[in-house]
C-alpha cells in the first residue's frame, strides 16, 4: 500500500520535471529565434547598403563614358570602360532569381501532422480511473510541447539556411566591388595620362 501511495507523488514530480525541461527548451528556442531575426535584419541592411553602392557605381560608369567623349579625347579601344552588367561576376552577384526566399526543400511541419503521435490514448488503460486520465493528459501536453519545439527547430534551420545563402551573396558582391574598384582606378590613371599627353601636344 505504501508503494501505491507513492505513485501520485512520483507522477507529479515527473510531470513537473518534464514541464520544467520543455519550458527551458522553449525559452532557449525563443531567444535563439529572436537573435536570428536580429541577425537577419542586420544582413538585410548590409546587403541593402551594397545594392546602393552598386547603383552609385553604375552611375559612375555612365559618367566615365561621358568623360571618354569630353574635350575631344579619343580613347584607345583597350582603355574603354566595360559595362559592369555584362561582366559574368556582376551577373552572378546580382542575379535576380536568388532573392533569399524560404528554402523550398524544408517544408514547415506543424503539430498534428502525421507522425506526431495520437491526440490522446498514449497509455494502455488498466483501471481506467482518474489517475490514468491525468497521466494521459500530462503525456499529451508534453507531446504538444515537443511538437512546438520541433517546429521551432525547423524555423531555425530554415532561417539559418536563408542567412547562409545571403552571406554567400554578400561575399560575391564584395568581391565584385573590389574588382570593379581596381578596374576603375586603373582606367582613371590611364585616362589621366592620355589627357595630359593630349593637352600637352594641343
Residue 70 lies in a domain: no
Residue 147 lies in a domain: yes
Is 45 or 107 the better-scoring residue by pLDDT?
45
The CA distances from residue 130 to 19, 118, 127, 137, 173, in Å, are 20, 20, 9, 10, 64
Residue 200 has pLDDT above 90, yes or no: no
pLDDT of residue 98: 53
The CA distances from residue 4 to 1, 7, 8, 11, 140, in Å, are 5, 5, 8, 11, 23
Contact partners, residue 30, CB within 8 Å, separation at least 6 = 152
Residue 86 lies in a domain: no
Q: State the Cα torsion 155-158-159-163 to the nearest 10°.
A: 170
Place 104 in a pLDDT band, splitting at 50, 70 and 90.
Answer: very low
Region 142-163: what's the mean pLDDT? 92
Residue 66 lies in a domain: no
pLDDT of residue 140: 85
Query: What is the chain's alpha carbon radius of gyration, rounded to the nearest angstrom?
Result: 32
Region 96-100: what's the mean pLDDT? 50
From the DSSP assignment, how many helices (H) and strands (E) are in the chain? 3, 0
Say how far apart CA 3 and CA 10 lie, in whole Å: 10
Residue 193 has pLDDT above 90, yes or no: no
Residue 48 lies in a domain: yes
pTM given for the model: 0.65
Residue 95 lies in a domain: no
pLDDT of residue 126: 75
Number of domains in the chain: 1
Half-sphere exposure in the Cβ direction for 75 (13 Å, CA): 20
Q: Which domain holds residue 34?
A: 2-56+105-201
What is the percent of the chain with per-residue pLDDT over 90, rounded to a whole number? 24
Residue 64 lies in a domain: no
Residue 82 lies in a domain: no
- Locate 155 and state its grid cell: 524555423
Amino acid at each position: 500500500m505504501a508503494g501505491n501511495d507513492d505513485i501520485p507523488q512520483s507522477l507529479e514530480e515527473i510531470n513537473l520535471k518534464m514541464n520544467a525541461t520543455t519550458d527551458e527548451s522553449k525559452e532557449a528556442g525563443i531567444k535563439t529565434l529572436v537573435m536570428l531575426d536580429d541577425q537577419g535584419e542586420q544582413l538585410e541592411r548590409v546587403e541593402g547598403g551594397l545594392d546602393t553602392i552598386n547603383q552609385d557605381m553604375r552611375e559612375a560608369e555612365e559618367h566615365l563614358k561621358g568623360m571618354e567623349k569630353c574635350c575631344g579625347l579619343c580613347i584607345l579601344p583597350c582603355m574603354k570602360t566595360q559595362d559592369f552588367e555584362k561582366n559574368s561576376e556582376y551577373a552572378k552577384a546580382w542575379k535576380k532569381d536568388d532573392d533569399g526566399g524560404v528554402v523550398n526543400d524544408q517544408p514547415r511541419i506543424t503539430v498534428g501532422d502525421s507522425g506526431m503521435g495520437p491526440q490522446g490514448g498514449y497509455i494502455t488503460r488498466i483501471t481506467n480511473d482518474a489517475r490514468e486520465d491525468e497521466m494521459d493528459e500530462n503525456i499529451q501536453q508534453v507531446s504538444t510541447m515537443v511538437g512546438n519545439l520541433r517546429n521551432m527547430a525547423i524555423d531555425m534551420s530554415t532561417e539559418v539556411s536563408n542567412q547562409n545563402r545571403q552571406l554567400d551573396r554578400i561575399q560575391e558582391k564584395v568581391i565584385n566591388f573590389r574588382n570593379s574598384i581596381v578596374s576603375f582606378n586603373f582606367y582613371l590613371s590611364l585616362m589621366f595620362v592620355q589627357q595630359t599627353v593630349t593637352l600637352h601636344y594641343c
